[in-house]
């Protein structure tokens, strides 16, 4: 069983404010240790569940947040830029885990909620449905026939995931009380929950269906600021002064077209 793990930072256990997830800020080094702890708990669970190969990608910001020499040596790790491929090599894997994810932009009382960019993106729609990063990444994997089998994060993220993927295993490591605060499980309990959830999820591989969206894929983005719509860029349909839309043959191509990469 081959398992791919995408790791974001906002939904990591013990994290509840932006100073923990932004390099250079006061609590960032502590945040990195928390992230590494959740990754190791997840790797242990995947192995306990029967995984034979685990690839973990650091997918937060520039992708360089692991405390590298503390990582479990039974998995492989992807760090830094990955070009136009968000999940390099995922085709042929048996399942995807989205670890440390967060609820979509605008979700009330969700810890560090946003979609792709908290500064730039106000609202995002995938094929007409308001969506967040969970949907984007589950759909990218779905395009390649890979099911999203587990998520970890706050209660709002877990609810968002369950609405889209029937039977997905959710590890609720915290409860959102505000976008900058929450009620958190202590590390030992969070890690136990992640390990047990990952083991169970790997055991469900083949039973949970990939999250597939209709093609061609339409993405609409409402920006936070005015005057930033890339009018005139190939394939961009302007909706209003802050909103535009793109259409592409796959989820990943639509995403790159949307952000102009
Ligand atoms: Zn992030």
Q: What is the pLDDT of residue 184?
A: 98
pLDDT at residue 57 tops 90? yes
155-173, pLDDT tens digit by residue?
Answer: 999 999 999 999 999 999 9
CA of 58 to the centre of ligand 1 (A): 9
CA of 105 to the centre of ligand 1 (A): 12
Percent of the chain with pLDDT over 90: 99
Over residues 207-219, mean pLDDT: 98
What is the pLDDT of the chain when averaged over all its residues? 97
CA of 35 to the centre of ligand 1 (A): 11
Q: What is the pLDDT of residue 261?
A: 83
CA of 101 to the centre of ligand 1 (A): 7
pLDDT at residue 13 tops 90? yes
User: Do 131 and 246 form a contact (C-beta atoms < 8 A)?
Assistant: no
pLDDT at residue 67 tops 90? yes
CA of 62 to the centre of ligand 1 (A): 9
105-134, pLDDT tens digit by residue?
Answer: 999 999 999 999 989 999 999 999 999 999
232-254, pLDDT tens digit by residue?
Answer: 999 999 999 999 999 999 999 99
CA of 99 to the centre of ligand 1 (A): 11
CA of 193 to the centre of ligand 1 (A): 21
CA of 113 to the centre of ligand 1 (A): 10
């Amino acid at each position: 069983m081959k398992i791919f793990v995408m790791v974001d930072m906002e939904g990591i256990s013990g994290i509840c404010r932006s100073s923990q997830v932004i390099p250079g800020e006061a609590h960032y080094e502590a945040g990195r240790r928390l992230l590494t702890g959740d990754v190791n708990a997840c790797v242990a669970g995947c192995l306990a569940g029967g995984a034979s190969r685990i690839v973990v990608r650091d997918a937060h910001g520039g992708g360089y947040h692991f405390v590298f020499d503390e990582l479990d040596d039974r998995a492989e790790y992807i760090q830094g830029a990955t070009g136009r491929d968000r999940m390099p090599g995922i085709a042929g894997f048996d399942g995807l885990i989205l670890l440390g994810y967060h609820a979509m932009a605008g979700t009330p009382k969700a810890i560090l909620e946003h979609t792709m960019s908290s500064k730039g993106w106000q609202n995002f729609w995938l094929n007409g449905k308001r969506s967040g990063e969970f949907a984007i990444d589950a759909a990218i994997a779905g395009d390649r026939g890979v099911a999203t089998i587990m998520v970890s994060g706050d209660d709002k993220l877990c609810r968002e995931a369950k609405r889209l993927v029937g039977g997905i295993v959710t590890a609720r490591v915290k409860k959102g009380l505000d976008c900058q605060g929450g009620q958190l499980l202590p590390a030992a309990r969070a890690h136990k929950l992640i390990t047990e959830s990952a083991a169970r999820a790997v055991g469900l591989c083949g039973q949970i269906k990939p999250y597939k969206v209709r093609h061609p894929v339409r993405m609409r983005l409402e920006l936070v600021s005015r005057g930033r719509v890339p009018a005139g860029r190939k394939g961009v349909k302007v909706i209003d002064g802050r909103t535009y839309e793109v259409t592409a043959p796959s989820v990943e191509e639509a995403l790159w077209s949307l952000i102009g990469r």
